Structure 1
Amino acid sequence: MPQHMNSTRNARGQLTIAELVSMPHLGLELAAGAAGLERRVQWTHTSELEDPGPWLEGGELLIVNGFGIPEDGPGQTQYVRRLAQHRLAGVAVSVRAPALTHEMLAVADELGFPVMRIPRQVPFIELSYLVANASERSARDRLSRHLRIFETLRLRNTSDSDVAGIYRQLEQIAGYRLALISPAGQALLAEWPWVPDVDWGDALESVDLRVVPDGYVVPLFVDDRVTAYLVGIEHDGSSPEGLAALQHVSTLAALDAIEDQRRREAAHRTGASAFARALEASGPEGEAEQLLHEAGLARDTPFRVVAFGPIPHALPEARARDWLADRQIRHALLRRDQLIGVLQCSDERLVELGVALDVPIGASPRSAVVSEIPRLLRQARWSLSLAGESATAEVVFTEKQLGLARWLNPDARTLERLAEDTLRPVLEHDASQGSELFHSLAVFFRHHGRMRAAASALFVHEHTLRYRLNRVEQLTGKNLKNYRELFELWLAVEAHALVVRADEE
């Protein structure tokens, strides 16, 4: 625990644990945690919850009857660890509490966390009044400091606003070293780049305030999403003003998080516009490349075109955009009927993106030629159709499909002619009769010709599926028992998927 936590009442007008224990009329007996006797008591609180820490600010003396204290040693050990983690000054336990175990007291000694017994009937209110009266001046000082935090808002709104200067002033007022970071642990503001070297655990995935070594992590919301975190770390040479002060700072930091989202949205619109122009394959030569370069993609650097499966969460564009931006991955995303993108990153990063969004992704081969983007998108969408056959979210790279993409030449005219010549009778029959012959054939192939599995996926009887496949044979003149003709139908079905996606584009 930093040395500044050991200031006494003389410095801040607050009682210490040692002073409370030394008052005979209170009758407090120190059971464990003697190393923390000089902790200041900012306030008192009573709670019989097994984990009251999240509802406290830190610095409180917790006074309990003990109804929330477990009776077993491991349970009591966790109870003390949680209180210490939330930086309480100590805990005073009444005679009604369960017997304090040796394990609990040993952990309290290890952590320097004071545990006191109240051996007789001392009204809790008497102890609270005593602490409150001693802390009156400190409370006034804290209120003044909290007001000064909001005074910095005036500085922020000036035309020559000094971001670094504002955060330095907030550090002095709040008594914490401050960091504003993205969910990826990167500095959110170029003007304030400091990021603490701590073990984040899962703190950067939480929507709740979390405790980290010597500090707190406060989530910052923009609309209904956590887009950044304010981190406050205690350090030698300052007196932290507690969680309330840090939460006041977070109100101001949220304005920077909102501004950051505006910048990202503007960059996103620029990238989407450049990507759309590249897909149109029209305009002066090199214009699309110049626009993508201005949107942030590096010139003459290989990229992949990717197609995303349905993202099962709100705001899929924003989630994908922020994930990429937080990791400084150059990209341009475009949302039409589907989220697609141009990405300059490693394959490992692309796989991480799929896992983070929990979606399948189809990825084209790498290229550095912007004019190839329309063709690459068709390859990405074809790869996505293969990814959709898997029960898990995965990234399917076109060039890793055993050369199949080279047989299915992603030239739109060739594919359209192949699909139309072979499947036209089936598609026309479906259109005029409202049947599902083409879909049944595609599902049959997807299940590798296993009749029972395909029928189950279609929710029909095997006889019904067999009848539909017989109709396909009649309409196309192809025999599904003839390997060459079956293979031709399978190629046509795969090609049709590419043609449909190219038309949707």
Structure 2
Amino acid sequence: MQQRSTTPRVDRGQLTVADLVSMPHLGLELVAGAAGLGRRVQWTHTSELEDPGPWLEGGELLIVNGFGIPEDGPGQTEYVRRLAQHRLAGIAVSVRAPDFTPEMLAVADELGFPVLKIPRQVPFIELSYLVANASERSARDRLARHLRIFETLRLRNTIDSDVPGIYRQLEQISGYRLALISPAGQALLDNWPWVPEIEWGDALHATDLRVLPGGYLVPLFVGDRATAYLVGIEHEEHYPEGLAALQHVSTLAALDAIEDQRRRETAHRAGGSALARALEAGASHADVERRLHDAGLVRDTPFRVVAFGRIPNPLPETRARDWLADRRIRHAILWQDQLIGVVQCTDDQLAELGAALNVSIGASPTSTAFSDIPRLLRQARWSQSLAVDSNRPEVVFTEMQLGLVRWLNPDSSTMERLAEDTLRPILEHDKSQGSELFHTLAVYFRQNGRMRATAGALFVHEHTLRYRLNRIEQLTGRDLKNMRESFELWLAVEAQALIVRDTDN
């Protein structure tokens, strides 16, 4: 948790809660929260809502009759905590309000949140006029400071824009320490790396403004997506100028969020193009290595090829690459008939990616040779196919699947020849007749030979399925009810996804 300084900050001439309490003609009585007497009163607001905080900027003195104040201790305690969380100057309550409970007064003292009682003879309007008149000069000063924030937009758009210098200037003007972060809680800008040490909870999934301990979090949108967040934490040496000032700063910060998305899109195109080149038959290994290195992947560093299942949400490619980029994970993503990628990350990070996207992922063994990508893609797709029956997202690592790879990989040319000899009649029939016998056989094995489950997965009637299986038996000369012959077909189907073809290299 960030440590807060207790050093008083320089006042700009506004009234404080202590000033109001010291005025005899008002007769205000401080009943709790004496530690907050130095709070500036920027404005007054009247509301009987149970939670008026979302409609306030911070710095207001809330004046109420008390209709919205609960009568019980827990209710009053929560009421005061909400007001303090929104950083109001304090609350002034009519004598008509419910009696304050000891629990509520104790919390107000703990938070340093002033609670005042207004005498019956003092009208609310008199208190409001007093604050407004005292704040008139301050309001002009605040307007000038807000205009200075927009002046930085001109500086931001110059060729020699000094981004750190601009954000330091904005911190002085706004009174907030500023951070620009990704949805993963990482600094968005390399030259502005500060990130507050706070518990984010679900704040980094927010699409609306959030109140944080000591500050605010403002979502920054590119299109209809919150791609970054501006965080403002009250500065230790300057008075915060309120939420309006921070929202003005977010206008400038949004430009950096847009620029970050442009950089990501450029890197994404370069990575996708390099990965597509790596999968081309006869591609130069040196050219592939250069392209992938230029796209951000590190030479001689282990990587995996991954194949994604169907991502249930829109923009699957964008969501996958942004998740990786937010965490500074080096990758190349390509969308063809299936979302695939090359990633340099830990196995735990891969599992987190699958959970975040709610998708299963097939992961090849690791390699350091980019020329292995075509072979590794076959293995990743085979591994991903093993996860189709799972009810939850999972990462299926090729090397962990029952030792099958250890049996198939030692003599891949032999396995290729055996698989082709076994499956050739089926594959040639599919090619000439436009049938789906190979796919039917693969799904049949995946469903462990269960007819009804296989028919359901294929969206066909069981009679149609039975006809296809009979046709497979006729073409291959093998009986699916015979364990040895069925196993040979199963092994050929599994090997088809793993074998290395000469055309891949």
> TM-score, normalization: structure 1?
0.88
Q: In the aligned structure 2, how far is the partner of 1:335 from the partner of 1:425?
A: 28
Q: CA deviation at 1:164?
A: 1.4
CA contact (8 A) 1:419 1:496 kept: no
Deviation, structure 1 residue 454: 4.9
Tell me, yes or no, if the aligned pair for 1:364 and 1:380 is still in contact at 8 Å: yes
Q: Which amino acid aligns with 2:423?
A: E
Instruction: State which drifts further: 175-184 or 146-155.
Output: 175-184
Q: What are the Cα deviations for residues 22-55 of structure 1, in whole angstroms up to 9, with x where unaligned?
A: 4444443323212212211111122333322222
Q: Does the alignment pair 1:230 with 2:233?
A: no
1:47 aligns with 2:47: yes
Contact 1:418 1:495 in 2 (8 A): no
Q: Which moved more, 1:233-242 or 1:446-455?
A: 446-455
SS of match in other structure, 2:342: strand
Return closer, same or farther for 1:414/1:123 CA change in 2, 3 Å cut-off. Answer: farther
Moved more, 84-93 or 47-56: 47-56
Cα deviation, residue 449, structure 1: 3.5
Name the aligned partner's letter for residue 334 of structure 2. Answer: L
Aligned to 1:57: 57
Aligned to 2:423: 420
Letter in 1 for 2:324: L
Q: CA deviation at 1:147?
A: 0.1
Contact 2:307 2:381 in 1 (8 A): yes
- Report how far residue 455 of structure 1 moved: 6.0
- 1:323-365: per-residue Cα shift (whole Å, max 9, x none)? 2222222211112222211111111111111112221111111
Preserved CA contact (<8 Å) 2:419 2:492: no
> Which is further off, 143-152 or 66-75?
66-75
CA 1:131–1:3: 2 relative to 1, 3 Å: farther
Change in CA separation of 1:496 and 1:97 when aligned onto 2, cut-off 3 Å: farther
Deviation track 1:72-126 (CA, whole Å, cap 9, x = no partner) reads 3222212211111111111223344443322112111111111223352644333
Q: What pairs up with 1:139-288 in 2 under 5 angstroms?
A: 139-288=139-288
**Structure 1 pair 362–25 and aligned structure 2 pair: CA distance change class (3 A):** same
Q: Could you tell me whether the CA contact under 8 Å between 2:188 and 2:228 is conserved in 1?
A: yes
Deviations 1:281-305 (A, max 9, x none): 4344411111111211111122111
Structure 1 pair 72–422 and aligned structure 2 pair: CA distance change class (3 A): farther
Does structure 1 retain, via aligned residues, the 8 Å contact 2:378–2:497?
Answer: no
Matches within 5 A, 1:56-455: 56-120=56-120, 122-407=122-407, 414=417, 417=420, 420-421=423-424, 423-424=426-427, 427=430, 431=434, 442-450=442-450, 454=454
CA 1:47–1:479: 2 relative to 1, 3 Å: farther
Deviation at 1:196, TM superposition (A): 2.4
> Would the aligned equivalents of 1:415 and 1:495 in 2 still touch at CA under 8 Å?
no
Distance in 2 separating the partners of 1:248 and 1:85: 21
Query: Residues 5, 216 of structure 1: CA spacing in aligned structure 2 closer, same or farther, 3 A cutoff?
Result: farther
Q: Is the 8 A contact 1:362 1:396 kept in 2?
A: yes
> How far does the alpha carbon of each residue in 1:423-476 deviate from its partner, in whole angstroms, 9 at most, with x for none?
3598589846xxx87666544433333456556666788788667656655665
The separation in 2 between residues aligned to 1:96 and 1:314, in whole angstroms, is: 54
The answer as to whether partners of 2:416 and 2:495 remain within 8 angstroms in 1 is no
In 2, Cα distance between the equivalents of 1:396 and 1:80?
Answer: 51
Partner amino acid, structure 2, of 1:62: L
Give the Cα–Cα distance (whole angstroms) in 2 for the partners of residues 47 and 438 of structure 1: 70
User: C-alpha deviations, 1:366-425, integer Å up to 9, x for none?
Assistant: 111111111111111111111222111111111111222345567796487256336359
**Aligned residues between the structures:** 497
| 1:66/1:93 contact within 8 Å kept | yes
* d(CA) in 1 for partners of 2:147, 2:101: 44
How far 1:487 moved relative to its partner? 1.7
Q: Which moved more, 1:408-417 or 1:193-202?
A: 408-417
Letter in 2 for 1:162: D
What SS does the corresponding residue of 1:337 show, helix, strand or coil? coil
Gaps in structure 2 of 5+ consecutive residues: none
Question: CA separation in 2, counterparts of 1:472 and 1:283?
Answer: 36
The structure-2 alpha-carbon separation of the partners of 1:354 and 1:414, relative to structure 1 and needing over 3 Å to count, comes to: farther
How far residue 321 of structure 1 moved from its aligned partner, in angstroms, is 1.8
Structure 1 residues 57 and 3, CA, compared in 2 at 3 Å: closer, same or farther? Answer: farther
Separation in structure 2 between the aligned mates of residue 467 and residue 341 of structure 1, nearest angstrom: 38
Counterpart-to-counterpart distance in 2, 1:33 and 1:406: 71
Instruction: Specify whether residues 305 and 418 from structure 1 end up closer, same or farther in structure 2 by C-alpha distance, changes over 3 A only.
Output: farther
Q: Call closer, same or farther: CA 1:5–1:415 in 2, change over 3 Å.
A: farther
Paired residue secondary structure (1:105): helix
- Going from structure 1 to structure 2, the CA distance change for 1:244 and 1:191 (only over 3 Å counts) comes to same
Instruction: State the secondary structure of the residue aligned to 2:402.
Output: coil
Q: Aligned in 2, Cα 1:177/1:481: closer, same or farther, shift over 3 Å?
A: same
Please give the alpha-carbon distance, in whole angstroms, between the structure 1 residues aligned to 2:299 and 2:432: 49
Q: Does 1:483 align with 2:475?
A: no
Q: What's the TM-score, normalizing by structure 2? A: 0.88
SS at match of 2:279: helix
Counterpart code for 2:342: V
Distance 1:459 1:70 in 2: 59
Q: Could you tell me how far apart the structure 2 residues matched to 1:488 and 1:26 are?
A: 95
1:193-237 Cα deviation digits (max 9, x unpaired):
222233333322222222223222222111111222212222322
Distance in 2 (CA, whole Å) between partners of 1:477 and 1:83 is 79
Change (3 A) 1:391 1:121: farther
CA distance in 2, matches of 1:468, 1:286: 46
Residue identity (%):
76
